Amino acid sequence: MIHRWSPAGVGAPVAQYSHLASVPASHGLLFISGQVGVREDGVLSGPDAESQTRQAFANIGALLAAAGAEPRHLVKLFTMVAGTEHLPGCRAARTEVFKDWFPDRGWPAHSLIVVSALAAPEIVVEVEAVAAIPPAAEPRA
């Protein structure tokens, strides 16, 4: 089982994350490339950070499922936001998704940075992920 926690001796997390996450040796690691708010049809979900963040997490959910995993297997997230003006929308969508994905508040480790730009000017949020997949999970093609 993945163990996530924030030990004493360090300030409490300032957002939805755990300071530490450990993975049992029996688990395989899955690295998910940065996901942006592009739907399956290749169209950007919207111009705003909230819709793009929601779609990026939906993409991560679909990629986890394709590998036989679930959001509960996430160990680490890394979010990049193109400008501080997009932080409120990104955080609102993340909060919404995390209520469903982590009802017990056992959040994965997570870092968020503000950057001047991403791969294209219309992309305002990108999220990378690392998951630990238990041995019983079977990747689906």
Looking at residue 1, its pLDDT comes to: 82
Q: Which domains does the chain have, with CATH numbers?
A: 35-133 (3.30.1330.40)
> What is the distance between the alpha carbons of residues 44 and 112, in angstroms, rounded to a whole number?
21
Q: Find out whether 113 and 80 touch, Cβ atoms under 8 Å.
A: yes
Read off the pLDDT of residues 49-107 as tens digits, 9 standing for 90 and up. Answer: 999 999 999 999 999 999 999 999 999 999 999 999 999 999 999 999 999 999 999 99
Looking at residue 60, its pLDDT comes to: 98
Tracing tokens 């940075």 back to the chain, one arrives at 113
Read off the pLDDT of residues 6-33 as tens digits, 9 standing for 90 and up. Answer: 999 999 998 999 999 999 999 999 999 9
Identify the burial level of 33 via C-beta atoms within 10 angstroms of its C-beta, where 0-12 means exposed, 13-18 middle and 19 or more buried.
Answer: exposed
